[in-house]
């Protein structure tokens, strides 16, 4: 696949280069929605710009499933990939770091510096299969503690797409007084049956890998972990992230260069999926993939709040909901439902893209005006 034998886990581990990360240790055990607590947890996060003395210029940007805190900047020691929204962050850009203090945490349960299955438990061994079930509400509770530590009483804007959009919504519903503006892209009020089906199939692929060992594989040598199952999960996911039109236009039935599918070789689209599978196995942790997908499956803004409409009525911030017109994983009907129940008129925006769900990451030229609508003086 073009890369070396995958490690047992692609997680960031203590002793690896810190890169741009900072760390926040939660002040005590975190009470979890499903019961019990998570002790000794920490969040890795990155910042750009400076916080004003009154703390009024802070922007929270929340990443999607396999993203991390590296919102902007090149790939470097400690950061296996370049910033996932690099074009939007920096002086003179929509998230102008001469004006705004931009914060991106690695989600609790993740694998790029925050506490997750690859992290040491209190006994010194990796949490592995012992790591507890998390929900979006637990993750936002940890992020609220981070905000306290940073001196941010109220975010000027909370932004997120896909899984990050779930957390952005949870922020606005659970902490309405702390959210001054809300931009949510390509997400839903609750995970649908189809989304749960897609995710659970991917998790079965990981758990069926002989290298899974019940989640306790982090001590194994390269090649011995569940990289095959994680790779299959990524292949399944990648198909849902892109549109049928894009795959057809980009690949069609073309063979991979130098290969002949009718003689056992690969089609070009198969090579594309293989590439993404290998990349993820080198930079992500299979246990985190399971923990985060299970949290996404549990996502339901209306749980215990009287339903979706009642939950969204708690939102007090100016809000925009953005749909990607070709998204087949989080179809525009889900964003339309969100916009309908928000207490603000004209909340729905549509990003036109051939790329499907990944359009919210790739169509930065269409995301920039949405940021400008919610951040006074932002650049388009």
Quote the pLDDT of residue 3.
65
Domains 22-191+300-374 and 196-293 share a fold: no
Quote the pLDDT of residue 1.
40
Tokens, residue 323: 């749909």
Strand 58-62 to 42-48 pairing = unpaired
Domain at 22-191+300-374: CATH architecture: 3-Layer(aba) Sandwich (3.40)
Is the distance from CB of 168 to CB of 183 less than 8 angstroms?
yes
Quote the pLDDT of residue 344.
74
DSSP helix/strand/coil, 41: coil
Domain at 196-293: CATH architecture: Orthogonal Bundle (1.10)
Quote the pLDDT of residue 376.
76
Sheet holding 182-185, edge to edge: 22-25, 42-48, 101-105, 58-62, 157-161, 182-185, 319-324, 348-351
- Domain ranges, ordered by start, for the chain: 22-191+300-374, 196-293
CB atoms within 10 A of CB 123: 8
Catalytic residues: 162, 327, 357
The residues near 309 (Cβ < 8 Å, ≥ 6 apart) are 302, 341
Residue ranges, the chain, pLDDT below 50: 1
CA distance 329 to 278: 22
């Amino acid at each position: 696949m073009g890369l070396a034998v995958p490690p047992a886990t692609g997680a960031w581990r203590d002793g690896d280069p810190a890169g741009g990360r900072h760390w926040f240790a939660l002040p005590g055990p975190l009470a979890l929605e499903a019961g019990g607590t998570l002790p000794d947890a920490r969040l890795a996060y990155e910042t750009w710009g400076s916080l004003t003395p009154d703390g009024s210029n802070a922007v929270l940007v929340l990443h999607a499933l396999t993203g991390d805190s590296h919102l902007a900047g090149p790939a470097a020691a400690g950061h296996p990939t370049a910033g996932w929204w690099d074009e939007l962050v920096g002086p003179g850009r929509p998230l102008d770091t001469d004006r705004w203090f931009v914060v991106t945490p690695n989600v609790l349960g993740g694998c790029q510096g925050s506490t997750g299955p690859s992290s040491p438990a209190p006994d010194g061994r990796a949490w592995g299969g012992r790591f507890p079930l998390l929900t979006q509400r637990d993750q936002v509770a940890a992020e609220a503690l981070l905000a306290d530590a940073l001196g941010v009483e109220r975010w000027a804007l909370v932004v997120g797409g896909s899984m990050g959009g779930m957390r952005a919504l949870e922020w606005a519903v659970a902490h309405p007084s702390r959210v001054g503006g809300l931009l949510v892209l390509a997400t839903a009020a609750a995970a649908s049956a189809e989304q749960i089906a897609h995710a659970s199939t991917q998790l079965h692929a990981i758990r069926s890998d002989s290298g899974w060992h019940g989640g306790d594989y982090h001590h194994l040598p390269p090649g011995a972990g569940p990289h095959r199952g994680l790779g299959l999960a990524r292949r399944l996911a990648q198909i849902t992230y892109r549109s049928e039109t894009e795959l057809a236009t980009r690949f069609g039935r073309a063979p991979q260069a130098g290969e002949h599918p009718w003689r056992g070789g690969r089609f070009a689209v198969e090579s594309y999926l293989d590439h993404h599978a290998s990349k993820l196995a080198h930079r992500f942790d299979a246990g985190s993939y399971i923990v985060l997908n299970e949290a996404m499956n549990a996502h339901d803004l209306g749980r215990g709040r009287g339903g979706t409409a009642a939950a969204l009525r708690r939102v007090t911030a100016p809000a925009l909901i953005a749909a990607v017109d070709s998204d087949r994983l989080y179809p525009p009907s889900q964003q339309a439902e969100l916009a309908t129940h928000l207490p603000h008129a004209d909340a729905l925006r549509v990003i036109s893209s051939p790329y499907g769900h990944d359009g919210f990451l790739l169509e930065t030229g269409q995301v920039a005006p949405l940021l400008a609508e919610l951040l006074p003086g932002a650049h388009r």
